[in-house]
Amino acid sequence: MAYQKFVESTSIYLREVRESDVNDHYYNWLNDPEINQFLETRYVPRSLENIRAFVKSMDGNSHEVFLAICDKATDKHIGNIKLGPINWIHRYADISLLVGDKSYWGKGIATEAIRLVTEFAFYRLNLHKVKAGCYAENVGSKKAFEKVGFVLEGVMKKQWILNGEFQDQLYLGLCVEDYKR
């Protein structure tokens, strides 16, 4: 069976996350301390069964669009990006992502995935704003969002604990009219 690419760029495409994506690689992403260091899921060990249950729960969810980030050249599943929860009344949504395959780090994959899902949010879903949060120490995530046009909108002082130290949470946002400029 030939599967459809949901949205694509020159180097990656986004498609639905499938139960068949839940494998040893996915399991290792969520349980690797370097990969999950900025994820709240790091506090609870993940099993293949609970990862599979989460993926299944996201299938067809109209308030959260959960997508696999795939290398266009190899079709390899290298991470995930989620748009949601979506607030349909006020027309905004959060974006969160994980590039789980370390061999793709530092190559602009996160930026490209954010750009694709932002365009989807604005031009296909008619949302007005997308937003994201990250640990202040997560410089790569902050830079990836800023490259797409997100701006720092706020800081929650000492919101999270990371490596035994309190960390600020950064809030970034982008409205459709700013993106179009």
Q: Domain-by-domain residue ranges, the chain? A: 7-127
pLDDT single digits (tens) 8-56:
899 999 999 999 999 999 999 999 888 888 888 888 888 899 999 999 9
95 close to 131: Cβ distance less than 8 angstroms: yes
- 63-68: average pLDDT: 96
> What number is the average pLDDT over the span 117-139?
96
Furthest-apart CA pair in the chain: how many Å? 50
Residue 143 confidence class, pLDDT cut points 50, 70, 90 = very high
pLDDT at 1: 54
Q: What is the pLDDT of residues 151-161, one digit of tens each?
A: 999 999 999 99
Q: Which residues pair with 130 in a beta bridge?
A: 93, 174
Which pTM value belongs to this model? 0.93
Q: Which amino acid appears at position 47 of this protein?
A: S
Is the separation of the CB atoms in 34 and 102 below 8 Å?
yes
Structure tokens at 134: 């990250």
Question: Per-residue DSSP letters for 36-72?
Answer: STT-GGGGS---HHHHHHHHHHHTT-TT-EEEEEEET
Put the strands of the sheet holding 165-175 in their side by side order: 7-8, 12-16, 65-71, 77-87, 92-99, 129-135, 165-175, 151-162
Q: Which residue has the tokens 């979506």?
A: 86
Homologous superfamily assigned to 7-127: Gcn5-related N-acetyltransferase (GNAT) (3.40.630.30)
Residues 111 and 144: beta-carbon distance below 8 Å:
yes
